[in-house]
Amino acid sequence: MELGLAGRVAVVTGPVKGMGGAITRGFAREGCRMALLGRDLAAMAPLGAALRAEGAEAIEIGCDITSPAACDGAIKQVIAAFGRVDILVNVAGGTGPVGKTAWQTDKAEFEQILDLNLTGCFNTMRAVLPGMVAQRDGKIVNVGGTFGMRGRAGRSSYAASKWGLRGLTKSVAIEAGPYNVNVNIVAPGMVDGARFRTKVIPDMMQRYAISEAEAVARHAADYALGRITSDEDVAHACLFLASDVSRQITGVDLPVDGGWASL
């Protein structure tokens, strides 16, 4: 199926690590002109260079998404380089306090993760939407999480940030819909990456005195499909929602979790 993404300008926040890297490379492979936004220019430089070596157009822009002024400035740089913004994918985010109840979490910890996971997405959307509205075309994909659909003990701050992102996404979808702008959210479950392999699985191995393979199988058994989500699974969902193939889909939160949050 042809996604029709070639030549479109895609902005990706948090473009390097894990699913962010897979998403960035996926859009570049589809022929998008890429703008990589993140705090650490040095970390983005190798990926940008690799994309250009493969024939893609790509620029890296330093941006702290928790700063509205930084987001406005970054998007101005994208428009100066490419003339427009067609796609925004908000991947940048954090985990917040882990293993703490709500009453053990202090206000600063709570506000920090909301500022990054929720307000950061608000800032970037606010920066790109005037241009998308003016050109009567645009796609925004926010990366949420399944804990923002079912909640999770010990992750109340993170869950709150992702629940908030769902509400923001759905509301902006209604506001931007009349201007042919689609706004959706992809909600990954546990993704087979660094944290899964170095934290989640070792903890399970120790708790139940089992092997790594047994721990992975035990974790996968929670999902209807019996397998762990990959970075590429998340990237494919983002590509779909950013393409014209999904032109009639907006305000949707799409779990990419093998069947956990919705079952």
Enzyme catalytic residues:
158
List of E strands, the chain: 9-13, 33-38, 58-62, 87-90, 138-143, 181-188, 253-256
* Ordered strands of the 33-38 beta sheet: 58-62, 33-38, 9-13, 87-90, 138-143, 181-188, 253-256
Return the structure tokens found at 133: 């509205």
Closest CA to 75 of 10, 115, 128, 150: 128
Burial (Cβ within 10 Å: 0-12, 13-18, ≥19) of residue 235: buried
Task: Check: CB of residue 208 under 8 Å from CB of residue 215.
Answer: yes
